[in-house]
Homo-oligomer: A and B are copies of this chain.
Amino acid sequence: MKKRIITISREFGSGGRTIGKMVAQRLGFRFFDRDLVKEVASQTGISEELVEKEGQYAGNKNWLSYLLSFSGGPKVRNGMRVNDFVWVMQSKVIQDLAAQEACVIVGRGSDFVLRDRKDCLRIFIHASQEFREDRVVQLYGEREASAEDRILDKDRRRKLFYKKYTGWDWGMAKNYHMTLDSGELGLETCADIITGLVKQEA
């Protein structure tokens, strides 16, 4: 079936966001990354900063209390914690956007949220630790924490977030139609393969 929505899940530093942007440009699809955060913030009245964080990462606190919803910011609606509320509203926004127009959506559990849509192609981008460390330093510069620690921390918190809200294990091949090693294949080739696949099925 013709694919008009592409979700790109990715490891931090793998270039998944860049690949998503390239694919959107080549196909003439709308690209949702920062705009999605803005939309959720606007619909909830929660700051973009908080949506950015809670809609994609587990907090730094104890993982068990996070999974069991004992932590995750203050309660905001009907006794719901801010992270749960962001997840519910973000899922709603993702579903609405996908129903409206052909688009590429990066991260934020969009693969899971849109799992039942037959017109959705689910992609996962990953790369070696070495490739990602080089890329993170090149893109975001050096910080107090090493690139290695920043990657490990983001991976851990994305994985936990994913487990909590989807029940799935992050990075398992079976959750995606295609996964690509961007370090090995190159960002351009990854974008070529995805674009070619969507055009072929069109």
Contact = CB atoms under 8 A, between A and B. Distances in A.
Interface residues of A, number: 19
A174 interface: yes
3 closest Cβ contacts across the A-B interface?
A: A173-B179, A179-B179, A177-B181
Contacts of A126: 173-174
10 contacts: A126-B173, A173-B173, A174-B181, A176-B179, A177-B185, A178-B179, A178-B185, A189-B197, A193-B196, A196-B196
Given A171-B174, A177-B184, A178-B180, 19 more contacts: A124-B173, A126-B173, A126-B174, A171-B173, A173-B173, A173-B179, A174-B181, A176-B179, A176-B181, A177-B180, A177-B185, A178-B178, A178-B179, A178-B181, A185-B197, A193-B193, A193-B196, A193-B197, A196-B196
A145 interface: no
A62 interface: no
Interface string A166-199: 0000011110111111001100010001001100
A78 interface: no
A187 to B, nearest CB: 14
Contacts of A124: 173
Contacts of A43: none
Nearest to A178: B180
